[in-house]
Amino acid sequence: MSDSEIATFVFLDLETTGLIREGKPAPSVTELCMVAVQREDMLKTVYPRVLNNFVLCFNPGEAKLSTEAKQLTGLTNTCLQEQKKFDKSAMNVINSFLRRLRGPVCLLAHNGNEFDFRLLVAESQNAGKPFLEPLLCADTLEAFRSTRKRNSAGARQSFALGRIYQREIGRPSPSCHNAAADVKTLIEVSQKMPSEFVSWVDDHAVPFSSITAP
């Protein structure tokens, strides 16, 4: 493996109090799941046995979960009230998890460039503690758009994660808007074309420090 090749792929998903809306405060993160997969396991077509898992829930404080967020995720302000906030202590734990992984390390999220990565940057800024460096990131939505060809009729295809899963795995995705289930779905889809996916990430990953908050 060369120094420029990703050694550890960290698939992640967030649940939040709502969506990013222009002119509105950024939503707060209520759940974070990260699953780290070694490069050699990513290049296989079977789901990895060796995984490093990280899941935390957060009290969003004064931020109220939208009705849609509550319906989609099953999380509420009430059930999260005993959880800790996304603070400096949380960032220390996250960085400790990432620091244990073989580098280079790359964060991966579906639509991450527009949503997940930006909200993680916002939370780290609010906590007053940045993510460790060096750290890379890549958006799986862009990866799938690049590596999947149009269907035989040349029609446009949906690249929503659940749609890709049903199209390529052949059954409905297990669960949407549950961070751990969505990460598992993302890994399974990524392994349908493992060599193409890994090569795309090697070529297109960017420093996480280049991501800006909403």
Are the beta carbons of 144 and 164 closer than 8 angstroms?
yes
Nearest to 11 by CA among 144, 151, 188: 188
Token pair for 213? 């908050």
Alpha carbon distance 117, 123 (integer Å)? 10
Alpha carbon distance 29, 129 (integer Å)? 16
Chain-centroid distance, C-alpha 71: 21
Task: Quote the strand ranges of the chain, DSSP E.
Answer: 8-16, 29-38, 52-57, 105-109, 136-139, 206-207
For residue 105, list its beta bridge partners.
Answer: 8
Give yes or no: 177 in active site: yes
The DSSP symbol for 211 reads: -
The one catalytic residue among 118, 177, 192, 204: 177
Q: Which residues are catalytic?
A: 177
